Amino acid sequence: MLRNYLKIAFRTLWKNRTHTLINIVGLSVAFGTCVLIFLTATFELSYDKFHTNSDRIFRLYFLSSNRDGSPDRSSSMPYPIAPALKAEFPEIEGATRWFNRTAGIRRNNQTYNKNVRVADADFLQLFTFPLRKGNPKTAMNSLSDIVISESMAKDIFGAQDPIGQSLQLRVDDNWQTFNVTAVASDVPKNSSLDFDALIRSENAGDYAENKGRWDHSNHDVYVKLKPGTDPQTLQRRSQALMNKYFATDIKQRQEQGFPKNEQGFQRSLMFQPLLNVHFDTETTHGLGISRTYVFTLLLVGLFVLAIACINFINLTIAQSLSRAREVGVRKSLGAQRAQLFGQIWGETLLLCFIAFIIGLGLAYSALPTFNRMFQSQLTITDFLQPTVLAVTSLGFLLITLIAGGYPSWYVTRFNAVEVLKGTLKLSRPGLLRNSLIITQFTIACLLIVCTVIVRQQITYLQQKPMGLDKEQVVSIPVGNELNGVEALRVLRNRLSNQPTIVAISGSGVNIGAGLDGTSNRMMYGFTYGKRDVTCDWLRIDTHYLKTMGIRLLQGRDFSSSFSTDSSTSILITQSMAKQLGEANPVGKFIKPDQKQFQIVGVVADFNLYSLHQEAKPITLQMQTNDPIRYILVRVSPQNLTGAMDIIKTAWKTVAPKQEFIGSFLDENTERWYKREQRLATIFSTAAGIAIVLSCMGLFAIALLTIQQRTKEIGVRKVLGASVVSIVGLLSKDFLKLVMAAIIIASPVAWYVMDKWLADFAYKIDIEWWVFAAAGSVSVAIALLTVSFQSVKAALMNPVKSLRSE
């Protein structure tokens, strides 16, 4: 019996091969797309879950309020807070500081640039980073201990046993010797914390100077609570610690009229669950990923799958008349309704299984392209995980039940007597079919509008004036094994006679996301008179304004002729002058960190960081104790490739053992918005798939509808109807559905995109023509799809359709 059912199923699928092909193509594309999207979303949602007791680990951040009442969050902590928490709160099992840093490593005259993170001795006991060699309880006991990863051990030591071996690290511009005490497994890809090596936090260059200061913050702090501890209760109790150690700051905020935060205090210490850190885009300086992005991925996958399922349901119901006689005969021969349901649903299962296998093949073949387009790191092993296989199997069964269940029930409810007498009357396409078609095109219109608006915003961000000239400027990361000031001096000498070089300077902060993958930021908050002042603190060198194309508005630029420029002189931006309340600030003094600085010039405002956040006032300074991390070279526009080659050659003489990873600033700034680029690619790809699948479904429905109205068309032609009137008659019903979809999609798209744009300090206005354009495209595509069959039917000889009458 089963073999007979399979044979009938294959015959039925082959008999209706056009519709079978449409269903298989639609479902296979949908299955393949959903598998890739589901794997990506699963990977993002799995971040940090591999840690044992991850639910008891928290990251600290400060919560206060800005003057307008909006929350101000910062995860940067002072040195004394970790030991104070351990001493004053017995509920805390362990605490560790965490510094995201890189360092130069040297062994046998060979240098390496690695992610050498700085942490406390508790780190390996708080987090689950298994050691291949060594003891996690003693691996970081000494200040000269270093824990390295497996990959780093292979890079530096090869097949040798690294335990007990020595390495030199460049710390605070000096080479220091460290002994390898442990080798850790490589950090999983889904970890918020990554490292090639770990050393003690006491090795940080400013530790000795600031270890007792509560007003100097520069690192994150993680704590692990004892079992049974309520984090909310501990969070409330920590307010006493805030009042004790931050009394001066709290008093100043009260005097300056700052509103209280959400907790009802001027400043609070908050406990953020470790599993939320990856999804924090505010306190991670944009390095996190929004949960909205992950859920958008899942939603897009469901949209594509829904369109494919709608096609299947509509086509199966539309074909029901052709199967009515078969159902009638089977019922008259004694077949039960449950048996008929099982047979017809079995055909659905077979078709879906074929589409699923093809979809998996498409997903596997598209994996490299998908990883490249969406900066993912998926592999086939990610799919072979038991949880993923179980969810995929359940999802497949659910889809076949939904897509095949209703059509099977619909067909099996036909009355056998009416079918065999030929008196069965099927109602005209009703609410269900129309609703499904509207849903399809609503999704397609929504994705089209989102694609256009996201791309508009990206273009706006890339083209908005930043207050500096980012074109024709090469940024060169100095690295950790070089002294930035010395490297800048040598490179200047090497390039001084090159006509293609316009200007050279240095900076502590890169503009955009460079190829070194690092970012840093220093900010100061202080009072000026009775004003609360916050600014970015930027280390630069002479000729910075010329190199970056920044306008000088008042006073003078830095010059090597003034000895004070490298110690106590500063430049400020317009917004900084406004924040100080000074119309002519040149000659005035500020005291941000127990040291007095004199303002010698005012420059135009410029954006130092991405346009996701509003630009902060900037103070530019040349203190020699702050490092130069990037060398900036402006080149003439005539021969950019030649100029880059000249810079590369000169850099080889400055750092012969270091790889050149210089890049143009305009490329760097584009990388700021790679997350938005990825979202735009997702929307545009999904919109393309949605439109194609919707049109395939509409084409099939139009074909079946016209076949059922063949005699009506013949009669109308005999009575004198023109081709245009027949095409209009057949197309208008479908176009009404598309117009309804546009009306539904437009307000939804506006709401979604308005919420998305709210995350940007600088954003576009949503224009009406975007919705009109998306609607016009949808109508045009639908009209072309339906018209192809409509024109064909209208041109048919009416004698053929009426001959049987």
Tell me the pLDDT tens digit for each residue of 106-121: 888 787 878 889 999 8
Highest mean pLDDT of the ranges 440-449, 521-530, 537-546, 672-681: 537-546
Q: What pLDDT, on the 0 to 100 scale, is given for residue 285?
A: 59
Strands 103-107 and 110-114 come out as antiparallel
Q: What percentage of the chain exceeds 90 in pLDDT? A: 25
pLDDT digits (tens, 9 = 90+) for 294-329: 888 888 888 888 888 887 777 777 666 566 666 666
**How many Å from the N-terminal Cα to the C-terminal Cα in the chain?**
40
Tell me the backbone φ, ψ of residue 122, rounded to 5 degrees.
-75, -10
Least confident of 34-43, 207-216, 325-334, 655-664: 325-334
Considering only residues 21 and 239, tell me which one the structure prediction assigns the higher pLDDT.
Answer: 239
How far is Cα 650 from Cα 658, in angstroms, rounded to an integer? 12
Do residues 711 and 798 make contact, with C-beta atoms less than 8 angstroms apart?
no
Read off the tokens for 617. Answer: 């006032």
3-state secondary structure 27-39: HHHHHHHHHHHHH
Q: What pLDDT, on the 0 to 100 scale, is given for residue 239?
A: 92
Highest mean pLDDT of the ranges 38-52, 138-152, 292-306, 774-788: 138-152
pLDDT mean across residues, the chain: 83
Query: What radius of gyration, in Å, describes the C-alpha atoms of the chain?
Result: 34
Q: What pLDDT, on the 0 to 100 scale, is given for residue 207?
A: 84
With a cut of 50, say whether residue 520 has pLDDT above it.
yes
Q: What pLDDT, on the 0 to 100 scale, is given for residue 70?
A: 77
How many CB atoms neighbour CB 799 within 10 A? 10
pLDDT digits (tens, 9 = 90+) for 671-705: 888 777 877 887 788 878 888 888 877 777 777 77
The DSSP 8-state label assigned to residue 281 in this structure reads S
Do residues 193 and 127 make contact, with C-beta atoms less than 8 angstroms apart?
yes
Tell me the backbone φ, ψ of residue 150, rounded to 5 degrees.
-60, -45
Per DSSP, the residues of 346-385 read HHHHHHHHHHHHHHHHHHHHHHHHHHHHHT----HHHHTS
Kindly list the distances between the CA atom of residue 236 and the CA atoms of 61, 80, 240, 271, 660, in Å, as whole numbers in the listed order: 14, 20, 8, 10, 50
Least confident of 325-339, 444-458, 629-643, 659-673: 325-339
Q: Calculate mean pLDDT across residues 500-528.
A: 83
Q: What pLDDT, on the 0 to 100 scale, is given for residue 548?
A: 93
pLDDT band at 503 (very low <50, low <70, confident <90, very high): very high
Q: Furthest-apart CA pair in the chain: how many Å?
A: 107
Residue 99 pairs with which residues in a beta bridge?
A: 118
